[in-house]
Chain A
Amino acid sequence: MSEQTGRILVVDDEPGMREGCRRILSSQGHQVTTADSGEEALSLFSKDAFDLALLDLKMPGISGMDLLVRLREIDSDVVYIMVTAYATLETAVEATRSGAYDYVAKPFTPDELTAVVDKALAFRWLRLEAAQAREEAGRNLLLVATQQSRTRTIIQSMADGVMVTNRERKLVLYNPALLRLLGIKGQMPDLNEIPSPEIFPSDLLALMDVAYGGGETTMMSRELQVARSAEATAMAATGLASGPPNLAATIATIRDEAGESLGLVTVIRDITEMKTLQQRMSDFVSMVAHELRSPLGAIAQYLDVILAGVTAGNPEKERQILARCRERTGALSQLVRDLLDFSRLQHLGRVERTLAPLRLDEILQKTIEFAAQPAAARNITIAFDAAEDLPFVDADRDEMSRLFANLVDNAIKYNRDGGSVRVAARRTDGYVAVEVSDTGVGIPQGAIERLGEAFYRVRTSATLQITGTGLGLSICKQIIQAHHGHLETESEEGKGSTFRVLLPYMPSPR
Chain B
Amino acid sequence: MSQGKRVLMVDDDVDFSDAVRMTLEGAGHEVLVAHSADEAMKLVQGRKIDIAILDMMMEEPDAGAMVAHNLRKQPELRNIPVILVTSVTEKTGYRVGTNTAEAREWLGVDAWIDKPVEPAELLRKIEALTHE
Contacts and interface: CB of A to CB of B under 8 A. Distances in A.
To the question of whether A and B form a pair in one complex, the answer is yes
A308 B23 contact: yes
A298 B85 CA distance: 13
Given A310-B26, A461-B35, A290 B89 contact: yes
A310 B92 contact: no
Nearest to B34: A461
B87 A290 contact: yes
Contacts of B26: 305, 308, 310-311
Interface string A467-490: 000000000000000000000000
B90 interface: yes
A304 interface: yes
B127 interface: no
B118 A304 contact: yes
Contacts of B18: 302, 324
B85 to A, nearest CB: 9
Contact of A310 (B23, B87, B115, B118): B23
A300 B18 CA distance: 12
Interface residues of A, number: 26
Contacts of B25: 310
Interface stretch (B7-15, B43-51, B76-84, B98-106): B7-15
Nearest to B87: A293
A74 B101 CA distance: 103
A459 B60 CA distance: 11
A293 B16 contact: no
A302 B18 CA distance: 8
A464 B115 contact: no
Q: Which of B15, B16, B39, B57 has the most CB of A within 10 A?
A: B15
Nearest to A288: B89
Contact of B16 (A283, A297, A308): A297
Nearest to A304: B119
Contacts of A465: 14
B131 to A, nearest CB: 21
* Residue from A290, A317, A328 with most neighbouring chain B CB atoms (10 Å): A290
A296 B35 CA distance: 18
| A298, A300, A317, most chain B CB atoms within 10 A | A298
A299 to B, nearest CB: 8
Interface string A281-314: 0010010011001101111111011001011000
A459 B22 contact: no
Given A297-B13, A298-B13, A304 B116 contact: yes
Interface residues of B, number: 28
B57 A290 contact: yes
A457 to B, nearest CB: 10
Interface string B88-112: 0110100000000000000000000
Contact of A304 (B12, B23, B35, B89): B23
A293 B12 CA distance: 13
Contacts of B87: 289-290, 293-294, 297
A381 B12 CA distance: 30
Interface in B14-72: 14-16, 18-20, 22-23, 25-26, 35-36, 39, 57-59
Nearest to A293: B87
Given A293-B87, A297-B87, A310 B119 contact: yes
Contacts of A286: 89-90, 92
A304 B15 CA distance: 12
Contacts of A310: 22-23, 25-26, 119
Given A308-B23, A465-B14, A297 B92 contact: no
B14 A305 contact: no
B118 A464 contact: no
A459 B59 contact: yes
A429 B39 CA distance: 46
Contact of B116 (A283, A297, A317, A464): A297
A464 B35 contact: yes
Nearest to B16: A298
B89 A289 contact: yes
A302 B19 contact: yes
Contacts of B118: 304
Contacts of A311: 22, 26
Contact of A298 (B15, B36, B39, B90): B15
A321 B23 CA distance: 12
A288 to B, nearest CB: 9
A310 B89 CA distance: 29
Interface of B: 12-16, 18-20, 22-23, 25-26, 35-36, 39, 57-59, 87, 89-90, 92, 115-120
Given A298-B13, A298-B15, 18 more contacts: A283-B92, A290-B89, A293-B115, A294-B87, A296-B116, A297-B16, A297-B115, A301-B19, A302-B15, A302-B18, A304-B116, A305-B26, A308-B23, A308-B26, A310-B23, A311-B22, A311-B26, A464-B12
29 contacts: A286-B92, A290-B57, A290-B87, A290-B90, A293-B87, A294-B16, A297-B116, A298-B13, A298-B19, A299-B15, A300-B115, A301-B115, A302-B18, A302-B19, A304-B118, A305-B26, A305-B119, A308-B26, A308-B120, A310-B23, A310-B25, A311-B22, A324-B15, A459-B12, A459-B36, A461-B35, A464-B12, A464-B14, A464-B35
Shortest Cβ-Cβ A-B pairs, 6 listed:
A300-B116, A310-B26, A301-B19, A298-B15, A297-B115, A289-B89
